[in-house]
Amino acid sequence: MEHLETGSEDMTLTNRQGHPISDNQNIRTVGNRGPSTLENYHFIEKISHFDREKIPERVVHARGAGAHGYFEAYGKAGNEPVSKYTRAKLFQEAGKRTPVFVRFSTVIHGGHSPETLRDPRGFAVKFYTEDGNWDLVGNNLKVFFIRDPLKFPDMVHAFRPDPVTNLPNPERMFDFVSNSPEATHMITFLFSPWGIPANYRQMQGSGVNTYKWVNEAGEAMLVKYHWEPVKTGIKNLTQREAEEIQAKNTSHATQDLYEAIELGDFPEWELCVQLLSDDEHPELDFDPLDPTKLWDHERFPFLPVGKMVLNKNPENYFAEVEQAAFGTGVLVDGLDFSDDKLLQGRTFSYSDTQRHRVGTNYLQLPINAPKAKVATNQRDGQMAFIVDKAPGQNPHVNYEPSSLGGLHEAQKTGKDHEPAYTAKLVREKIGRPNDFAQAGDTFRKFSDEEREELIGNLVDALKICEPVIQDNMIAHFTQADPEYGRRVSEGLAKAKSDSAHISSDSARQGAEMAERSGQRTD
């Protein structure tokens, strides 16, 4: 911990009005035994600010850690100049650096929950580009539980602790999952060691959703983003390893990240993209807009486009990490949305929650404000402390269009990407849901140890569930791979017979003890 030299500057304590404070130990009272008086300005300001010190936690991803760094572009996507695919300026020039802020997180539990829990890990990156901010809000795992945003609030409710007991309960989680077959792939990752990354430095990141890249001519490609921890490699934990860490340290991942950066051992990731032409790809057995699917990396290679280095810890956790606000709507020219429904639902949700969680003017806070020029006609609202205007803007003109020195629209930088649509407005699932095939592939690609751990963790969670839930889950796993279903089913049967033995053993012991002490048990 760094201690500031005292005496070199004026270290006098003041209140927030700039009044020097000569007594910070005693409130003002009638005589030294009180009562106190209501005009205690310093006390009332201090205590009422304290009373408001907390803001609402993030509704998900409440527990997190963050760091600053930079992104350095390679100027290429694989062997091609990157400009062939996107005109986004941050990628164009080899060696070009863009400042970034990254926040890692767990998802379901509260702001001080252990960092060893089985949960996806958030991996959110804010790029402060010359064209304004770009947020890439991803997770460590490359797929997601659901593909329709309408299901997200139910999913989160089911995964959270029980609303009556406030206890975590896997039965509620698997009740939802067993009725949502598209979750089978994500559950396969989550209950394997991939569901507990060893720390934040040794894990991958993924944008999960499908986005678009747009070039100068307005042509688009579908794109998926991947962060690869090239320097450290990937490390995951078994349930037992995680429990051992958790017994001694509930903040091991925050500590690991902070200490590595303090020691100058800066974490690094390479950013890779997978590109696909912008169409429906009827040759695939899944829809490329489906976030429950992987794009096979042998068929669709990972093309490196740059690297990210994290080299500075936040100076204040609350100001930078807690108030940071990322969102999938935050794109720059050359990057675009795809029609991935989950992505579109997310894009509404983030800035909506941030106006509530941080406040209307959350984008004026230094951590969220672009380093590029901001000049809008949006004004006022709670905690507005600057006017987002251009230096030469007539301060009387806060509207557009105007001939009196107001802001005007930007010149177009490239041709717009203008997808055309002709379809009925419907409420329907996408075609090719194929909920189980990739879960089976993932199961078969795991090592023997990973499969063993997966089955053990699933059996542990499912053994307390109602038979209807167990049967549905076994049916899903069997459709993914018959061995997968068989092993979960056998594990559950064994857990049932073990617990029957334990309860008949303890009933017998109870009866023997009662007999020895002369009590009746019938």
- Catalytic center residues: 61, 139
Q: Is the Cβ–Cβ distance between 240 and 267 less than 8 Å? A: no
Q: Does 480 bind ligand HEM (CB under 6 A)?
A: no
Q: How many of the chain's residues bind ligand HEM (CB under 6 A)? A: 27
Nearer to ligand HEM, 98 or 347 (CB): 347
The answer for residues whose C-beta is within 8 angstroms of residue 362's C-beta and 6 or more apart is 323, 325, 354, 355, 368
User: Whole-angstrom Cα distance, residue 390 to residue 304?
Assistant: 37
**C-alpha distances in angstroms, 378 versus 356, 369, 386?**
17, 14, 11
Nearer to ligand HEM, 244 or 352 (CB): 352
Tokens of residue 308, six digits: 């990210």
User: Whole-angstrom Cα distance, residue 19 to residue 174?
Assistant: 58
Site for ligand HEM in 41-80 (CB under 6 A): 58-61, 64
Q: Is the Cβ–Cβ distance between 297 and 274 less than 8 Å? A: yes
- Asked if residue 20 has a cis previous peptide bond (ω within 30° of 0), the answer is no
The pattern of x and - marking residues 166 through 205 that bind ligand HEM according to CB under 6 A reads: ----------------------------------------
Listed in order, strand segments (DSSP E) in 174-328 are 205-206, 211-214, 220-228, 268-277, 303-312
The pattern of x and - marking residues 305 through 324 that bind ligand HEM according to CB under 6 A reads: -------------------x
Separation of CA 473 from chain center: 26
Q: How far is the CB of 139 from ligand HEM (least distance, A)?
A: 4
**Binding ligand HEM by CB under 6 A: which of 208, 310, 331, 439?**
208
Q: Which stretch binds ligand HEM (CB under 6 A): 27-35, 346-354, 491-499, 511-519?
A: 346-354
To which H or E segment does residue 66 belong? strand 64-73
**Binding ligand HEM by CB under 6 A: which of 245, 275, 332, 342?**
342
The pattern of x and - marking residues 76 through 115 that bind ligand HEM according to CB under 6 A reads: ---------------------------x-x----------
The dihedrals phi and psi of 205, each to the nearest 5 degrees, come to -135, 155
**Binding ligand HEM by CB under 6 A: which of 202, 349, 360, 364?**
349
Q: How far is the CB of 65 from ligand HEM (least distance, A)?
A: 9
Nearer to ligand HEM, 92 or 349 (CB): 349
**Binding ligand HEM by CB under 6 A: which of 122, 181, 267, 314?**
122
> CB burial class (10 A; 0-12, 13-18, 19+) of residue 345?
middle
**Binding ligand HEM by CB under 6 A: which of 40, 72, 152, 161?**
152
Separation of CA 283 from chain center: 32
Q: How far is the CB of 483 from ligand HEM (least distance, A)?
A: 29
Nearer to ligand HEM, 186 or 465 (CB): 186
User: Whole-angstrom Cα distance, residue 283 to residue 281?
Assistant: 5
Looking up tokens 């490239």 gives 414
Nearer to ligand HEM, 352 or 505 (CB): 352
Q: Which stretch binds ligand HEM (CB under 6 A): 3-11, 302-310, 347-355, 433-441?
A: 347-355
Q: Is the Cβ–Cβ distance between 73 and 90 less than 8 Å? A: yes
Tokens of residue 341, six digits: 């429904």
**Binding ligand HEM by CB under 6 A: which of 178, 192, 204, 354?**
354
**Binding ligand HEM by CB under 6 A: which of 137, 272, 289, 461?**
137
Residues linked to residue 136 through DSSP beta bridges, in sequence order: 125
Q: Is 350 annotated as a binding residue?
A: yes
Q: How far is the CB of 359 from ligand HEM (least distance, A)?
A: 12
Q: Of 80, 189, 134, give the one whose Cα is nearest residue 308.
A: 134
User: Whole-angstrom Cα distance, residue 127 to residue 330?
Assistant: 10
Annotated binding site for heme: 350
Note the residues at the interface with ligand HEM (CB under 6 A): 58-61, 64, 103, 105, 122, 124, 137-139, 144, 149, 152, 208, 324-326, 342, 345-346, 349-350, 353-354, 357
